[in-house]
Structure 1
Amino acid sequence: MLALLTIRAYQKTLSFDHGLPRRLFPNGYCRFHPTCSEYGYRAIDRHGLLRGGALTLWRILRCNPWSKGGLDELV
């Protein structure tokens, strides 16, 4: 699926937690576990593009400086 390939490409190149910029943040950047991109990958893989995409969007909207973050497993 193209969406999953796009997420993996993002993770390997631009992601502050998985890609080359990781060197700038050795302790990680994302407030949540799993990271937002990994959550999105799992959500789309498990629930399909529409429902998984909606879950991913909701997760990204919750990932902000005012969020405490934490463990957020996919249901």
Structure 2
Amino acid sequence: MSLRSIIQSIGAFVGKLLILPIRFYQKYISPHTPPACRFTPTCSQYAIEAIRKHGPIKGLLLAIWRLLRCNPWGGSGYDPVP
């Protein structure tokens, strides 16, 4: 097993760990709160897509940036993962 494949495996594992609390939120918390996300896809779905597409580090940074933009003075509408 090469170093590159080990790093990729660790990244995939960390990505799955980051997605677990997001899934928990989607299943157990979000259904009991009013819809508040100004964007499509929702911020939680965006975070999952970003982590899967870009890996745990860049994906998490993209998700944080998205959450910071999701406010009454920010934008709204369709905002896909780059």
TM-score, normalised on structure 1? 0.81
RMSD: 1.1
Deviation at 1:68, TM superposition (A): 3.2
The count of residues paired between Structure 1 and Structure 2 equals 67
SS of the residue 2:45 aligns to: helix
2:59 corresponds to 1:59? no
Q: 2:26 aligns with which of 11, 18, 43?
A: 11
Return structure 1 stretches of 4+ with deviation > 6 angstroms. Answer: none
Structure 1 spans left out of the alignment, 5+ residues: none
TM-score, normalised on structure 2? 0.74
SS of the residue 1:58 aligns to: helix
Structure having the larger proportion of residues in helix: 2
On the 8 A contact 1:12/1:20 being kept in 2, the answer is no
Structure 2 spans left out of the alignment, 5+ residues: 1-15
Larger relative contact order (CA 8 Å, sep ≥ 6): 2
On the 8 A contact 2:69/2:75 being kept in 1, the answer is no
